[in-house]
Amino acid sequence: MTSRDGGPRPTKRRARAGRVFVAPNLIAIAVFMLFPLGFSLYMSFQTWDLFTPARFVGLANFGHLFTADPLFVTALRNTVVYTVGTLVPTVLISLVVAALLNRKLKGISVFRAVVFVPLAVSSVVTAVMWQFAFNTDDGLLNTMLGWIRLGPVPWLLEPGWAMVSLCMVSVWKSVPFATVVVLAAMQGVPHTLYEAARIDGASELRQFVSITVPLIRGALSFVVVISIINAFQAFDQVYVLTGGHGGPETGTYVLGIMLFQNAFAFLDFGYASALAWVMFAILLGLTLLQLRLTRRSSMRL
């Protein structure tokens, strides 16, 4: 770029203006993201209850978490169950829904809009709405089960069923986003491939398995990573559905609830920070593994 008189000044001025425009965002990131991240890392090596001065304890918080807190194992196990229970149905349902929506039919835009509605509803509203549906005596689900003569299910009252309920809500909430991503990827698959497959006599199912799925692998990989991250960070839905103790018993005691409980109920912010960084490390490991696997399979393609 050159100025009218050919000098460098306007470029410099523009660069300066650019920095000025970016500065507020950078400051916001530094204040609201980098500082809290750094502070929580610092706190994970301290014991701190908000009121008394923080005391350095080295790796004691991490040591206690891994060796002396049986609830960490429970929370980790529940989080893994919740993640798998959310991830697998989300991917399968979103594939089917996206395939159905990826057609040129009259009124398909209405169906697309309806499918995406849960995306616009807040997690807390979703959880409250589902609470009514899970009501044992006269909730929607048990009423419908009653029509086919199946007994009432104690959705939120028994530990096992409470986790199933939680996964159902999470799937309901996650499917629209996954569908948007998968549908966008499906629309990018060249039609010529399907035409060639049809000429070769491939069925619809065969086309879906052998053409669509391999070619949207990148999008699926993205959906998997995002779903795992969301599941590991689950808190608000659990808090509203089954309470701040992750009950009944420890049925829905996931890592998000454990973190909140240690920080805000027990005022043990050092321990909660250590847990947060352990969660971060697990997620980072899983994401890197997923990326490596995806890269390897794309190279094979």
- CB nearer other proteins, residue 135 or residue 294: 135
Interior CA angle at 100 toward 95 and 102, to 5°?
90
Closest separation in Å from C-beta 172 to other proteins: 20
Residue 122, phi then psi, degrees to nearest 5:
-70, 155
- Token digits for 133? 């549906």
Rounded Cα–Cα distance for residues 243 and 83 (Å): 19
Which range of residues in 82-90, 114-122, 136-144, 196-204 is near other proteins by CB under 8 A?
A: 136-144
Nearest CB to other proteins, comparing residues 100 and 157: 157
Residue 5 or 137 with smaller CB distance to other proteins:
137
Looking at the Cβ atoms of 138 and 195, the one nearer to other proteins is: 138
Binding mask 44-63 for other proteins (x = CB under 8 A): -----xxxx-----------
Residues 256-275 that bind other proteins (CB under 8 A): 261, 264-267
Residue from 85, 139, 176, 256 in contact with other proteins (CB under 8 A): 139
Tokens of 267: 């005022």
- What residues between 199 and 228 interact with other proteins by CB under 8 A? none
One-letter amino acid of 207? Q
Q: What does the buried/exposed string (b/e) look like for 251-290 if buried means 16 or more CB atoms within 10 Å of the residue's CB?
A: bbbbbbbbbbbbbeeeebbbbbbbbbbbbeebbeebeeee
Q: Please state the closest distance from residue 55 (CB atom) to other proteins, in A.
A: 13
Q: State which residue, 48 or 82, has the beta carbon closest to other proteins.
A: 48
Return the half-sphere exposure (C-beta side, CA atoms, 13 A cut-off) of residue 246. 24
* Pick 197 or 267: Cβ nearer other proteins: 267
Stretch of 130-138, 161-169, 178-186, 198-206 lying at the interface with other proteins (CB under 8 A)? 130-138
Q: Amino acid letter at 278?
A: V
Which residue is it, tokens 């203006």? 17
Select 204 or 249, whichever has its Cβ closest to other proteins: 249
Amino acid present at 264: F
User: What are the residues facing 56 on neighbouring strands?
Assistant: 46
- The answer to whether residues 269 and 50 touch, using CB atoms and an 8 Å cutoff, is yes
Minimum CB separation from other proteins for residue 246, in Å? 9
Give the nearest distance from C-beta 74 to other proteins in angstroms.
10
Q: Report, in Å, the least distance between residue 64 CB and other proteins.
A: 10
Name which of 114 and 265 has its Cβ closer to other proteins.
Answer: 265
229 to 258, contacts with other proteins by CB under 8 A?
245, 247-250
Of residues 140 through 179, those in contact with other proteins by CB under 8 A are 152, 154, 156-158
Q: Judged by CB under 8 A, how many residues of this single chain contact other proteins?
A: 24
Q: Does position 135 bind other proteins by CB under 8 A?
A: yes
Q: By CB under 8 A, is residue 39 in contact with other proteins?
A: no
Q: Which residues bind other proteins (CB under 8 A)?
A: 49-52, 135-139, 152, 154, 156-158, 245, 247-250, 261, 264-267
